Amino acid sequence: MEVNKLEVVQLLEYLQEIINNAAKVPMSGKIMISKKEIMEVTEEIINLLPEEFRKAQWMLGEKDRILSEAEAHAEEVRRDKIEYIKNEVENHDIVSDAKKVAEEIIAKAQLEAKEIRIGSREYSAEIIEELNAAISSKKEEYLSVIEIESKKFRDKVNNMLNSTSVELRENIKELKGTSSNVTK
């Protein structure tokens, strides 16, 4: 997992480099970049994201599938109950009793369907809430890593610039000393 974080940071730094080195459009403050290159890098970043993000996407699809299945099951139960009622009416002379039973069965099927819909919605909401908590936790973790890596990068660049500056000053002194020795 730590390798993925470093790879993501490296890819983000590479994106920064692409943007910083991109050709500038005169008098517009805009730059020209390769869409293909940016899409490849962002696709790599997406592929390196934790499994929780892909699970979240899967769970959203599952929520819709569960709701569809629950509604289909409720419809199937309702159709089965209606068919059962029709058969009972055809096979019995007591139509009023059959109608009463049919109404009870339909009410029960509707109640079952409603319970299934409510249950699937509650389940979906629970899964989404858990997913949201997991994403929030991971977000904080990744932001922290990015902040640490950014600070390390800034410190490294600052140290390199300071070192280069000191080296340049020394070179200038040396050149001044050499030129004053040559003129003497």
Kindly state whether residues 97 and 107 are assigned to the same domain. Answer: yes
Backbone angles phi, psi at 108, to 5 degrees: -65, -40
Residue 143 burial class via C-beta count within 10 angstroms: exposed 0-12, middle 13-18, buried 19 and up: exposed
Kindly state whether residues 42 and 64 are assigned to the same domain. Answer: no
pLDDT digits (tens, 9 = 90+) for 131-167: 999 888 888 888 888 899 999 999 999 999 999 999 9
What's the CA gap between 102 and 72, in Å, rounded? 20
Full residue range of the structural domain in which residue 41 is found:
1-49
Lookup: tokens for 38: 């940016």
Asked if residue 184 has pLDDT above 70, the reply is: no
Kindly state whether residues 84 and 135 are assigned to the same domain. Answer: yes
Kindly state whether residues 61 and 113 are assigned to the same domain. Answer: yes
Kindly state whether residues 67 and 116 are assigned to the same domain. Answer: yes
pLDDT digits (tens, 9 = 90+) for 52-95: 767 777 787 788 888 888 888 889 989 988 888 777 767 666 67
Kindly state whether residues 40 and 91 are assigned to the same domain. Answer: no
Kindly state whether residues 97 and 161 are assigned to the same domain. Answer: yes
